Every structure is written in structure tokens, then in C-alpha cells.
Structure 1
Amino acid sequence: MALILCFLVNPLYRFFEERRGSQRLLQSGAKLEYSIYLQRDYAVEPAKPLATTAAAELPEWMVDLAGDTAKLRPDADVLEVYTHNDEQVEAFCDHGHRFRQVQVIDLWGQRISPNQVLRFRDALPQWPAAIDFHFHCSLPPTFLSSLGQARTMFLWSPGLNAVRLDGVRLQEIATLANLELLWIKRYQLDVNDVLHLAGCQSLRRLYLQETGLSDADLARLRSAMPKCEIADKYDSATNVTPQPATGWGTVSNTGLPSGWRVSRKNKLVSPPDSK
């Protein structure tokens, strides 16, 4: 009897174990995606093929026992994680080793404390494939310099009032040897501070939206950074509907995030004001 129970129970236990991190994050209200939605114009190593769901892996009677978990793919198939408060960041860090292929990580909310951001920093080695980072929260000193793996980064001011992104933070960003696209929105900037970014040789696109910089400031930046595309606005009416990136499987059931757009050249990415 024990042998029979082991034969029947082990597959179900293994199935639950492979999805334990996703269950925890979804229970906390975080958002997970199995597709990379927006096309990139730099090469990325493809993710491993998506696993099948419970309906294909387990007998029908076990699918019934799995309940809602039967709708989930394994944690290892998650490619994007969106967190909005301390509980969600904590859950992500606690179960981080389960999300081996995650490439897009989003800390997006004023309820994310600096302490949890530092915990996230310490957990970064768990996500070697992560290259896209989105931050709409308070960022502790020296945090940005820890993101050496970043190739795309969104930095949106965490408050309604003007918050300055000073030269020290911009110097941190300039040390990121792999960064190609940087989007800064609603932080107040001084052009002399932004000039530190000229030291980031990998940077190819810099979008500075609602930062208080003048046309003369932008002209000065373009002169100092001739290999970097610099813009302060975009025309969403001319943007095409975003498509899933090639090679990433099908779009998840949640559909495209509202408000995301990509330019006709698949370069300019516009995330929504809130998620």
C-alpha cells in the first residue's frame, strides 16, 4: 500500500513543488508572465521551452486535486515578475531561486520600502538571466551600481512631488557596463549631473521625460553623447501595437499590459503610468 501511495502521490507533490513560488507570489497579488511582450533590438539567449500544464502532465483525477494550481506553469517558466509592495518583494526574494529564467523584474509602488529594495539587491544573484529592471519606488544609495547585469532600466520618480536624481546616482548608472536603454521619468535632473552618463559606453538610448531639462540641455547632451539616441517625448499616435518578442512562445492569458507601446522601429517603449 505504501508503494502504491508513493507512486500516486509523488507526481502530485512534485507538481506542486515546481509551482510553489508562483502560488506564493500570486497569493500576495504580484503579477507573473510567461512571455516577453515587447520586441528587443539586442540579442538575448532564448528561454527554455515552456512546460505543459497539469492537464497534460497528470491524470484527470490528479488535475482535479491540483485545483487552480493546474492552470500554472512551473516557476522556472516565469519570464516577468511584477511586484507592488513589501509583501510581494519579500515573497519574490524568499522564492527567488525557483524563478531561474526571469528576465524582467518590476518593483513598482510607493509601498515598497528601501529595506526591501536592499533585500532585493542581495537576492540578485538568484536571477542571472534578469536584464530588464523597472523601478517606481525609493532607491537606497549605491543600489543602482549593483545592477551590472541590466541592459534596460526604467526609473520613474516614486512620488507626486519633484524628486531629484542627483549626480551621485547618475554616476552609479554610468558604471553599468551592459546598459543599453535608460528611461528616466518625473525625476528632476540637472544637465551637469546627466552628463555623467557620457561615461556609460554601452548606452544607446536615453529617454528623459518630465525631468525639467530644456531643449538647450538636450542639445548639450546629444553633443556629449553622439552614439546615444536622446529624446524627451514621443508620439504614441504613431506607435504600432506591440507584439510578443520572437521566440518566447504565446502571450499569456492576461493579455498585453494596458498602455504599453513600441515605436515603428521597435525601439521606443512606453510603460503605463501605473500598473
Structure 2
Amino acid sequence: MGIEGLRFVITGAATGIGAATAQVAADKGAKVMVSDLNDEQGQAVADEINASGGTAAYTHCDVTDPDQVDALMAAAAAAFGGIDVLHNNAGIHETALASPEQCSLEGMPLDVFKKVVEVNAVAPWICSKAALPYLKESDWPSIVNAASTGAQSAYPNNSAYGTSKGGIRLQTQNLAVDLAPLGIRVNCYGPTAIATDMVTNFVKQSDDPVAFEKALINTSLIPRLGLPSEVGELVCFLASREAGFINGAYILIDGGSLAWRGTVDILGME
């Protein structure tokens, strides 16, 4: 049971949730293809997994380039004999591409908006299409997509990211329908503020980073940032044999942030 022996492809796996998921999956006995644009850090993730007794390899991949994506899937299949799980984790936020003034509707350049949507919503479709021939040969195939609480709730200076994550949530459901006859499950998850470089940069771009981070945490019924490894555990569960009746789902991992309309100070938790 679990994910032992399953063969993972994880995009954007050099840091953050992708790197944590790679380590969690390998610790549980999966074989992991790490991919990213950052070759040094991506290779380091794979090397660390191998050094600790797991099985991993690294392949450079720009997920917006269909040729590179095809090469990634072929490399994973060659390394491990096939692909069972595609984790579409690679993502970007407008704050990584533009100044705070350029993250509003008035100030955002069109190319920034397009790039965020291309990486977060178009690229998972490209990756899913490229992985499909291999997933069809798997005994336990699934796709796990990275959505966000931004797929259903708005945040300041988040219009491109929110649009892309709302799109990946619906893409997940549509692919679940399309691929159900092939026995391929497709699910996604919605994290809130997780302790990653993306969230750190998002907070730094605000007018008052200290107050903004406090506001993010104060909406959570578990008053802290989430850990990348906690998201990795969820990804591995969704890919596991125990999750066999979960398909087309959007599962929150947000500390209870969207369970209510308040902040924890009114609960005496400040």
C-alpha cells in the first residue's frame, strides 16, 4: 500500500514544496524524478535523496517548453521504467516578476500576467499531455496539481496568480473527467501561507511585511505558517493506493484559514 515503488515526476522541485515532496516521497519508497530550471539546487535535492538511501534523478526542464517537457517524461521513463505520478508543482507569482507597483491591475504589464498564467495553468496541461502515454501504462496512475487558496479567495496584488490557480482547479476537474475512462485520477490541493521562498517574497512586497505576515497567520486556526513537508505528505497521500476513491478533488491545506471569516485574536489566540 502507500506509494512504495511508485515513480514520481515532480516539476519545480529544486526548492519549497516540490523539494519537500520529493524527499517525503523518496522516504516512503517512491522513485523520484526531480525537475527544475535551477540545475544546481535541483541536482542537490536528487543527490541528497540518493545519499539518504532513496532513489532520485534530476532533469532540467522549462515546463512552458513542450520539447523540454517531452524530454523530461522520456528521461523519467528511461530512469525508472515508467511514470505513475505526475506532480505539477512548478509555479510563479507576479511578485517574482514585477515591482509592487506593477502587481496591481493598473500597473501590471501584460507580459507579466501572461507569464504567470502560462507557468501555473498552461504548463500543467502541457506536462499532463506529455505524461499521458506513460500514465496509461501504469498500474496506479495519477496527476496531482498545485492549486491554492487563491483559487477561491482573493488577496491583494494577486490577480494573475489567482486567475491561474482558479484555472488549475477547474483544469483538474476537467482532466479527471476526461481521464477517468483510463483509470487515471487527477486531484489538486489548495495551500495557504506555506514557509517557502514564494510566500516570503510575496510578504516582502507588501507595504508593511511584518503586519502582512501577521495578517496571513492570524486567519489560520493553526496560528503559524505551514511546512512544505506537510504539503508533501498530502501530495503523497493523494497519489497513494489509500486514496483510490478520491478523484477530481480540490483539498485545502490551509490551517483552517477558509473555514471562517475572522482572525484568531477574537479567539484569544493572538
**TM superposition score normalised by structure 2:** 0.31
**TM superposition score normalised by structure 1:** 0.31
Q: Which one has the bigger strand percentage? A: 1
Q: Which one has the bigger helix percentage? A: 2
Task: Tell which structure's C-alpha radius of gyration is larger.
Answer: 1
Higher RCO (CA 8 Å, separation ≥ 6 residues): 2
